[in-house]
Structure 1
Amino acid sequence: MRNNLTVTLVATILLLVIVFIVQGIGDSVVKAVDKRQNKQETKSLKIWGAIGSLALVVLIGFSLTTKTETTDLKVLKVGASPTPHSEILEHVKPLMEKQGIQLEVVKFDDFILPNKALAEKEIDANYFQHEPFYDLAVEENSYEFVNQGAVHIELMGLYSKKWRSIKELPKGATLLVSNSTADWGRVITILKEAGLVKVKPGVSLLSATFDDIVDNPKNIKFSHRLNPELLTTAYENDEADLIAINANYADTIGLSPKTDGLLVEKEQSPYGNILVSRKDNEKAKEIQTLKKVIHSESVKKWIMKKWDGKIQPLD
């Protein structure tokens, strides 16, 4: 709205300037001719000068109005991780533009700044985190955010260069996971469903830590020293018996949870990646339009095709 008012004001001022310039030129011409021609000819020149000025103003005004209409897009700034979040947003840009909204994607390489930027109103929404991570961030920072729903899930898998199946895993094997506490319960859930660990009664798997494990027959040792994006390098360097890697990172080195994972979380996992807004803009047309577009059937099909099922769209 502010941009539109600015453009309109500039256009109005420019038109007035043009009118004065044209009128001034016309008056000068008329005065020059007035010395040589009779009054009737002078009157005729004035009429034609006025018509010419009006025509010029109309043409320029039409040009400015047309330019204003083509750029009359509301801007929606969304913070996102490079992959697959930013790629998905780039794909929906043309769809948003058809709705009169210019989608601006702001890329972040860490997992702290996107929420901070949203809270400080540097961006309008973000799309980078799964729901348990979001819940923990809101609890720890008292963010006034709104979960606008899950868009996709990146299935986590446990990968190994040393072993071809989980049955080969020896006692005392090392499992390398990320240093994000929101991922620990996710890994524990995978191990529990495979019968490799048990946790204390009453402990929620979403918030479970490795200290909550009460039965670990293979005596698996847990290491959580690396950021999530560094786990692929650890895998390539064969730094552990098992390495828990999210599908978006696994894809960057050619790994697929379905074909390469020794263990993979279930598709009904609660770790869907969500679109997040603030409470003060949760019902904004731009936010709700993005929510609708990103959940459209055409976008879902594109996600499935693009990542061959490694990244799965959610309703």
Structure 2
Amino acid sequence: MQKKWVTMGDVARAAGVGKITVSRALSTPEKVSPATREKVAAAVAELGYVRDDTAGALSSQRSRVVGALVSSLDQPTFASTIRGLSEGLAEGGLQLLLGTTQYEPETEAELVSALMGRRPDALILTSSDHTLETRALLTRAGLPVLELWELPESPIYAAVGFSNRAAAHAVTAHLAETGRRAITFLTTDRPHDTRAHMRAEGYTEALTDLVPGHAPRILRLSPRAEATGPEYGAEGLAQVMERWPDTDAIVCVSDALAIGAFCEAERRGIAVPGRLAITGFGDVPEVGASALGLTTVRIDGHAIGRKAAALTLAATAGEALAETRIDMGFTLARRASS
């Protein structure tokens, strides 16, 4: 099937008016008579006409499009960030184009290149692990580039996030303070998941500082395309208890893994928190006090998205950036699982 876009000329012929009149009816309807507006509106509805904004973008140097690349669409925490970002951008008349990198810098590079072809007003990324070519491209482009969920030392433009290392340190310290000693960190083995690596570092630092004589135990699960977070968590708990049967606490890299570990512990008759404490990361609804009651790190993903949108709107309006690293913080939500 050959693609044929309905043009403004098609609308003009159907309405029996000129193209300039159609343009005015759509852009400045107050300058056109009610009868003409009705004819144009009827033709637009009948033909299914959609305005082509590319010409306007070329003349104004503004596409009014913002590209966002997230590491994964499987995690509710990212979903809340995208919701906040979309809401904030819409208030400023900007549209959001969304893609997912699956934690692969090479995939990010391809998507960044594709988005740049749309001449976006800004780019939003949920990773600071870029290929050298991608970083050079983004730096040369001079666009507002916001890196979310992390706080890199040298952001391309600005970063909005929190310290993943400090958050994992805090939850591990909580377990140590409650008497846990044989604490294991459970994660997935993705080489470019910088947040997971920083959380592992925070766990290691806390364990070294607060539980002398107990070496860090980190179990990394090989990722599979078809596996879900809870599946990783269930498999991980089984492997942890087989490898280190004296484990009395598990720090999970995400709530999804913590849910799976919790359910597997129940299936095995392992008392939580009596025999084993389990913690997560993210505070998704399923782990709250009214659900599983898992101790976790609470991150306000929606607020991160709204802040990113506000910075984007300010940047596209030509306002100067007051700071390049905005720390949104985190909260340790202590619940029944620890």
The structure with more helix, counted as a fraction of residues? 1
Q: Which category of TM-score, normalised to the shorter sequence, fits these structures?
A: 0.3 to 0.5
Relative contact order: is structure 1 or structure 2 higher (C-alpha 8 Å, sep ≥ 6)?
Answer: 1
TM-score (norm 2): 0.43
Larger Rg: 1
TM-score by length of 1: 0.46
